[in-house]
Amino acid sequence: MEYEVPLRKSATETVMVPYTVWVKDGMEWLRELVRDPGLSDQWTWYAEKKEVVAAGVAEQYVDSPMSAQDAWDEEVSLSIMHSIFRSLY
């Protein structure tokens, strides 16, 4: 996806700066990473649900494929869960 943001060069001049955001389907990303043998010793093999709590409101955040909602949903569908729930304050 392409975006543009304003950048103030001086008090009177603003220019638009383009940048690209790459987006990939969560399950597609998981499949690619799981198939990479170089990651097997470093991979977290269970889903993690991570949340940041600010002013009493919890919001999920994703910092790895296994903390994505898709991974959590798949883990929940299994009969045995190995999930970790972390809250950061």
Residue 18 has a pLDDT of 92
Residue 89 has a pLDDT of 46
Predicted structure pTM score: 0.47
Residue with tokens 């950061």: 88
Residue 17 has a pLDDT of 92
Residue 83: which domain range?
2-88
With left for phi above 0 and alpha for psi between -120 and 50, is residue 38 left, alpha or beta?
A: alpha
Rounded CA-CA distance 50/30 in Å is 17
Output the tens digit of pLDDT for each of the chain's 89 residues: 788 888 898 989 999 999 888 888 878 887 888 888 888 788 777 888 888 898 999 898 888 888 888 888 888 887 665 655 555 54
How many distinct structural domains can be found in the chain?
Answer: 1
